[in-house]
Copies of this chain bind each other. A is one copy, B any other.
């Protein structure tokens, strides 16, 4: 029984990866770098994007694909930044999925202004489990982890922390009011993803946001260099 179930899961992930590769080919053809941005609910993905994309990112044109179970709360916030923002809801036709998958992103491709952007940030559904299992066609993965969530999160959700190229540790303005042990968190982080790039940020105060902007810019420029 269990063996069969595991096989089914593997098949589903294989199918997802095939579609993810097709998405990535389409993004590459347009010279668009794609960042899959993930976190738990309320870790501050949208606030980080607001804080970092309120001013132009140099010459790089940015678009956002906003993933939510339902509603357009975050997309409405980001649209105020005068960026092209596309909303993708997982509850219509997908049964209320807790993550984006490659097929959902594929269905959104016709709505994305791929000719007019260099960088697409895909804000995934807030969840530390399934989004890590499903590639959507991204070049790089970044996650936001809030210091309010406790030090143990890398150990409890290792796949998420292991598959990201960058961990943004957010809400550091609250550190003095928490029992959060930053050294212990970083120790756990290195246990599951040794040496992974990390940055300390407060999207609210702006501290560290420039480093995140630099990272986004570097990711986009790396993609734009002709192969």
Task: Report the bound CA distance from A93 to B130 in whole Å.
Answer: 16
A96 to B160, CA, bound (A): 12
A interface secondary structure, majority: loop
Cβ of B40 and Cβ of A94 under 8 Å apart? no
* Across-interface contacts of A157 in B (CB, < 8 A): 41, 69, 126
Q: Which residue of B lies closest to A92 (CB)?
A: B2
- A50-81: which residues lie under 8 A (CB-CB) from chain B? 68-71, 73-74
Contact flags A1-40 to B (C-beta < 8 A → 1, else 0): 0100110010000000000000000000000000000001
Contact among B9, B98, B152 for A127, CB-based, below 8 A: B98
Given the complex of chains A and B, what is the CA–CA distance between A42 and B174 in angstroms? 15
**How often does this chain occur in the complex, in copies?**
2
Report the interface size for chain A: residues with CB under 8 A from the other chain. 43
**A135 at interface, CB cutoff 8 A:** no
**A148-B171 in contact (CB<8A):** yes
Nearest B residue to A5 via CB reads B95
A-B pairs, 4 with minimum CB distance: A42-B149, A98-B129, A148-B148, A9-B95
